[in-house]
Amino acid sequence: MKKILLFVIAIICSMSGISEVSATDTVNVYLFSGSTCSYCAEARKFLQEIKSDYPYMHTIEYEVWEHPDNATLHEKVKEQLDSSSKGVPFIVIGDKSFTGFDESRKNDIRRALEYYEMEECPDIVQDVINGVPKKEKEKYENIELEEPKKEIDWENIAIGGIIIVAMCFVVYLYYNTKIRR
């Protein structure tokens, strides 16, 4: 009896992680920065600080003031995103971009990371590097950030319920056969 009870408890405990859904394994955060830019240094420090909160976040930095190739990439990415922003830091997360850095940008960055935790994250910068034509950019139109919607994984909940009912039935049968003996 103890073995069956332990088995049922193990099944229930193992199901606790089943319903966690994630749309992506990695969200690339691109930081276009200037070598002596104090706001860029603050942004870099902030991204390092929140890394533990968003383990799926991967930060890639491009210094644009002293590296002409990075500056060209910066301009192409802005063009792809239809951004008229000037200056650095320029941060790209999925199809969302942010220029400058202050307290409100911290919230914007967090919201974007939380959004892409549950949604598929396009990689605009990588598309630019790989040469995705500008005509395909319609799929990257900027949308307002919204709170991520936590979806309920009903299939796994139903499977868990069926397993629990089956285990209860096995325990019931075990007791009935023991009483009849």
3-state secondary structure at position 98: strand
Which of the four pLDDT bands, split at 50, 70 and 90, describes residue 170?
Answer: confident
> What residues contact 27, with CB distance under 8 A and at least 6 apart?
54, 56, 57, 58, 93, 94, 113, 116, 117, 121
CATH of 27-140, one of 3.20.10.10, 3.40.30.10, 3.30.360.10, 1.10.3720.10: 3.40.30.10
Q: What is the CB neighbour count within 10 angstroms for residue 57?
A: 19
Q: CA–CA separation, 119 vs 98, rounded Å?
A: 19
The pLDDT tens digits for 49-61 are: 999 999 999 999 9
Closest among 122, 113, 153 to 21, alpha carbons compared: 153
Using the predicted structure, report yes or no on whether residue 22 has a pLDDT greater than 60.
no
H/E stretch holding 115 reads: helix 103-118
pTM attached to this predicted model: 0.63
Spatial separation of the C-alpha atoms in residues 47 and 60, rounded to whole Å: 10
Q: How far apart are CA 151 and CA 153, in angstroms?
A: 6
Render pLDDT for 110-134 as a digit per residue (tens, 0 to 9).
999 999 988 888 999 998 988 866 5
